[in-house]
Amino acid sequence: MARVLGIGEGLFILAFLWVLCLLLCLVFSRAQGALSHLGPLAIIVAGLVTIILIFIPREPEISTPDDSIKIYDYSIIYRFGLIAVVSLFIIIGGVLYLTQQMMIPVLAKPIRRVR
């Protein structure tokens, strides 16, 4: 594993990702229309990538030859990620359904006068 000043490449990847996301947020903060939503979306994506990279198992700093071989089930990480994304979209969809369909105000209409 390549290290610069004792810091691994994962930290450099995360730092570059967050600097890029903050730059995108600043660039798109003055945009009009749908482009104005790309800044917060970039920060959300960076947060998800950061969480994924934190939870993927890493190799130890000092490897010992007498350690027993551990078998990791990497597919469970992606399953949990998929469950998290689907749950997030279910919550967003439920909130949008409630606000757009169920909570529409019904205004009273005047009754016509009979002459």
pLDDT tens column, 54-70: 887 676 666 666 666 77
Structure token pair of residue 97: 């359904």
Strand partners, 4: 7
Q: How far is CA 111 from CA 43, 66, 77, 104, 115, in A?
A: 52, 87, 61, 22, 13
- The verdict on 53 and 11 lying in the same domain is yes
pLDDT for the residue 104? 83
Q: Note whether residue 11 is domain-resident.
A: yes
- The verdict on 84 and 45 lying in the same domain is no
Range of the domain at 19: 7-57
- The rounded distance, in Å, linking the Cα atoms of 100 and 54 is 36
- The verdict on 16 and 50 lying in the same domain is yes
Mapped onto helix, strand or coil, the DSSP state of residue 4 is: strand
Whether the pLDDT of residue 36 is over 60: the answer is yes
| Residue 43 contacts residue 25 (beta carbons within 8 Å) | yes
Number of separate domains in the chain: 2
Tell which wins on pLDDT, 18 or 59. Answer: 18
Kindly report the number of other CB atoms within 10 A of residue 21's CB atom: 21
Query: What pTM was computed for the model?
Result: 0.46
- Averaged pLDDT for residues 70-93: 90
